[in-house]
Amino acid sequence: MKPWSKKPVIATLGSHSALQIAKGARDEGLHNLIVTIPKSTALYARYPCVNDVLEIESYGAFPSIEKKLRATNAIIVPHGSFVAYLGLKQHKEMNVAYFGNKNVLDWEFDRRKQRKWMEEASIVVPKLFSRNEGIDRPVIIKTFGAAGGSGYMLAKNNTDLKKYIKKMAGKQYILQEYIIGVPMYVHYFYSVMDKRLEILSIDRRYESNADGIGRLPIQHQTGLLEPSYTVVGNSPLSVRESLLPELYAMGERVITASKNLISPQGLFGPFCLEMIIDERQHMYTIEISARIVAGTNLFINGSPYADLFFDVPMSTGRRIAREISVAYKRKQLHKILHLDSHEKK
Residue number of the CB atom closest to ligand AMP: 148
Cα separation, 9 vs 79, in Å, equals 16
Cα separation, 74 vs 11, in Å, equals 6
Q: For residue 63, is the peptide bond before it cis, meaning its omega torsion is within 30 degrees of 0?
A: no
**Interface residue list for ligand AMP (CB under 6 A):** 15-16, 80-81, 84, 126, 140, 142, 146-149, 152, 176-179, 183, 205, 207, 210, 229, 231, 233-234, 274, 276, 286-287, 294-295
Cα separation, 211 vs 9, in Å, equals 40
What is the SS3 assignment for 125?
Answer: coil
Report the residue number, 93 or 177, with the smaller CB distance to ligand AMP: 177
Q: Give yes or no for a contact between 47 and 22, defined as CB atoms under 8 angstroms apart.
A: yes
Least distance in Å: CB of 340 to ligand AMP? 24
Least distance in Å: CB of 100 to ligand AMP? 17
Least distance in Å: CB of 128 to ligand AMP? 10
Beta pairing class for 229-236 and 196-209 = antiparallel
Report the residue number, 22 or 336, with the smaller CB distance to ligand AMP: 22
- Tell me the CA distances in angstroms from 309 to 102, 197, 320, one per residue in order: 28, 11, 15
Residue type, 322: R
Least distance in Å: CB of 195 to ligand AMP? 29
Least distance in Å: CB of 177 to ligand AMP? 6
Report the residue number, 15 or 32, with the smaller CB distance to ligand AMP: 15
Report the residue number, 139 or 314, with the smaller CB distance to ligand AMP: 139
CA-only gyration radius of the chain, Å: 21
Report the residue number, 121 or 333, with the smaller CB distance to ligand AMP: 121
